[in-house]
């Protein structure tokens, strides 16, 4: 994150106040991984009873920390989370794997946690070796100074090209006991499912077994982190981890082992809300973004077909540049529907911008008013609806426009 980068115009007006969550404390510091004069390492300390779930990039070239986390997830327990920004430790071969092992060793020494219960994530430049020795001496200090109210500092420490920290929190009750779900994320470019250059960490004080957590997380990402795109590029580093400290058990909350348990209905809703809020914030901070765009496709053969068509629209550079130019060029929507590789019938297709129908039954809508739609295109938030008129399949995805600033940010990223 450059401190010179202007705040995204789509940023929330303020960061939410995140209350301390029993069982987790945060420490942040400056290890000088890549950036000068800013925090770039974050250590979260977790109580001994903490369970963990995770989902990761489907990239065939995953980073070394992703390999590490996938392996450690099998144990279902977590005691610490170490994250650095500035270097993704991806495509770094044996050196990357050694850096991960050394980082975990340092974190274990600093926290007293077993290495197998330490989770790691890195974000930043790909292909440059990560000098994990820079964490030596820093992590002890972070562990000693870790505080339960360090949410905003933790969210800031993991940013790269982001212009603001992304935080979210919700409350729910389980068997009459209040629990909290809070999290933070980073990501602004290289964003496309299967997650993105995206790191997200969500914490709850609920007492939930790892298997149930995993099932809820996998379900929750489908309509949130796996329904967003900034530029259609899937990162090597995507990591979303969900930790349950179990502290609410002392207040009478039951330990729940099955995701199908009816007592989790409200919790699931709150978890999904946190995931969607964080995913939307990532899109709103899309590199160079000026418009937040919701694309809903209905009337498709299946939900899968609808999602594929929605992404065809959301990832189209021609659609995204038209939105940047505030041009309701619905011909580009027709193009994106047609190329998606799913069933479509030109003569049944209908398209709306901001609730105004612009095309219907294979033709421009006879009631279409260009002036009305031009005003809609000036909004920060734009909704595009497409109905295929074929079946009951529906899906919604979120994206942003594509501006000259995206090119500038990514053209200069390594320099």
* Residue located via tokens 């529906």: 394
Catalytic residue, candidates 197, 204, 234, 399:
197
CATH number of the domain that 40 lies in? 3.60.70.12
The verdict on whether 197 is a catalytic residue reads yes
CB distance 317 to 232 below 8 Å: no
Which structural domain, as residue segments, surrounds residue 200?
24-284
Domain count for the chain: 2
Residues 255 and 299 in one domain: no
Q: Which of 284, 301, 329 is the last residue of a domain?
A: 284
Q: Are residue 249 and residue 360 in the same domain, yes or no?
A: no
Q: Is residue 125 part of a domain?
A: yes
Regarding whether 330 and 256 lie in a shared domain, the answer is no
Structure confidence at residue 195 (pLDDT): 38
Task: Identify whether residues 308 and 208 lie together within a single domain.
Answer: no
Please give the pLDDT value at position 189.
59
406 with 320, same domain: the answer is yes
Q: What is the pLDDT along the chain (415 residues), one digit of tens a residue?
A: 444 568 999 999 998 999 999 999 999 999 888 888 889 999 999 999 999 999 998 777 888 999 999 999 999 999 999 999 989 888 888 999 999 999 999 999 999 999 999 999 999 888 888 999 999 999 999 999 999 999 999 999 999 889 999 999 999 999 999 999 999 999 865 554 443 358 999 999 999 999 999 999 999 999 999 999 877 666 667 899 999 999 999 999 999 999 999 999 999 999 999 999 999 999 999 888 999 999 999 999 999 999 999 999 999 999 999 999 999 999 999 999 999 999 999 999 999 999 999 999 989 999 999 899 999 999 999 999 999 999 999 999 999 999 998 888 777 655 4
> Binding-site residues for substrate, please?
160, 186, 197, 287, 410, 415
Domain boundary at 284, 315, 332, which?
Answer: 284
Question: Residues within the annotated binding site?
Answer: 160, 186, 197, 287, 410, 415
Q: Could you give the CA distance from residue 128 to residue 161 in angstroms, rounded to a whole number?
A: 17
- Verify that 317 and 202 share a domain, yes or no: no
Co-location of 233 and 88 in the same domain: yes
pLDDT at 196: 39
The tokens describing 25, both together, are 């404390």
Residue 8 lies in a domain: no
Judge whether 17 lies within some domain.
no
Whole-number Cα distances in Å, 321 to 2, 176, 251: 25, 49, 53
Same domain, 213 and 359: no
Does residue 13 belong to any structural domain of this protein? no
Q: Where does a domain end: 284, 304, 323?
A: 284
Q: What is the CATH number of the domain that holds 388?
A: 3.10.20.340
Evaluate whether residue 6 is within a structural domain: no
Q: How far apart are CA 56 and CA 235, in angstroms?
A: 10
Claim to verify: residue 140 and residue 203 sit in the same structural domain: yes
What was the pLDDT predicted at 199? 93
Question: 401-411 in b/e burial notation, b at 16+ Cβ within 10 A?
Answer: bbbebbeebbe
Whole-number pLDDT of residue 37: 82
Distances (CA, A) of 90 to 80, 121, 267: 21, 11, 35
> Is residue 306 included in any domain, yes or no?
yes
Asked if residue 193 and residue 240 are part of one domain, the reply reads: yes
Q: Domain for residue 15, yes or no?
A: no
Together in a domain, 258 and 327: no
Q: Are residues 68 and 31 part of one domain?
A: yes
* 274 lies in some domain: yes
Evaluate the omega torsion of the peptide bond into residue 209 and state whether it is cis, within 30 degrees of 0: no
């Amino acid at each position: 994150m450059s401190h010179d980068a202007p705040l995204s115009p789509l940023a929330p007006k303020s960061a939410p106040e995140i209350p301390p969550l029993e069982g987790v404390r945060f420490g942040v510091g400056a290890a000088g991984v890549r950036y000068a004069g800013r925090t770039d390492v974050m250590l979260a300390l977790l109580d001994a009873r903490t369970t963990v779930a995770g989902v990761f990039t489907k990239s065939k070239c995953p980073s070394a920390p992703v390999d590490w986390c996938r392996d450690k997830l099998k144990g279902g327990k977590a005691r610490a989370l170490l994250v650095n920004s500035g270097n993704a430790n991806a495509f770094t071969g044996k050196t990357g794997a050694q850096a991960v092992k050394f980082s975990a060793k340092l974190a274990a020494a600093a926290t007293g946690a077993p290495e197998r219960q330490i989770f790691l994530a890195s974000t930043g430049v790909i292909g440059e070796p990560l000098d994990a020795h820079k964490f030596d001496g820093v992590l002890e200090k972070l562990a000693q100074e870790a505080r339960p109210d360090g949410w905003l500092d933790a969210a800031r420490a993991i940013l790269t090209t982001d212009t603001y920290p992304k935080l979210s929190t919700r409350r729910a009750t389980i068997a009459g006991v209040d629990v909290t779900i809070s999290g933070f994320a980073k990501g602004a470019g290289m964003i496309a499912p299967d997650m993105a250059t995206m790191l997200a960490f969500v914490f709850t004080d609920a007492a939930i077994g790892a298997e149930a957590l995993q099932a809820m997380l996998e379900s929750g990402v489908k309509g949130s982190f796996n329904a967003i795109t900034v530029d259609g590029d899937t990162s090597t580093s995507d990591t979303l981890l969900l930790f349950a400290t179990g502290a609410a058990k002392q207040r009478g909350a039951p330990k729940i082992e099955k995701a199908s348990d009816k007592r989790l209905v409200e919790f699931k809703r709150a978890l999904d809300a946190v995931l969607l809020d964080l995913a939307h914030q990532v899109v709103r901070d899309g590199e160079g973004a000026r418009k937040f765009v919701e694309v809903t496709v209905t009337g498709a053969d299946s939900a899968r077909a609808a999602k594929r068509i929605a992404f065809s629209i959301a990832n189209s550079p021609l659609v995204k540049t038209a939105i940047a130019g505030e041009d309701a060029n619905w011909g580009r929507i027709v193009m994106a529907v047609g190329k998606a590789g799913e069933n479509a019938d030109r003569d049944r297709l209908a398209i709306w911008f901001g609730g105004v129908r612009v095309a219907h039954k294979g033709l421009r809508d006879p009631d279409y008013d260009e002036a009305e739609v031009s005003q809609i295109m000036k909004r920060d938030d734009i909704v595009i609806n497409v109905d295929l008129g074929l079946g009951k399949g529906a899906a919604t995805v979120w994206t942003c426009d594509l501006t000259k600033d995206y090119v500038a940010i990514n053209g200069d990223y390594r320099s």
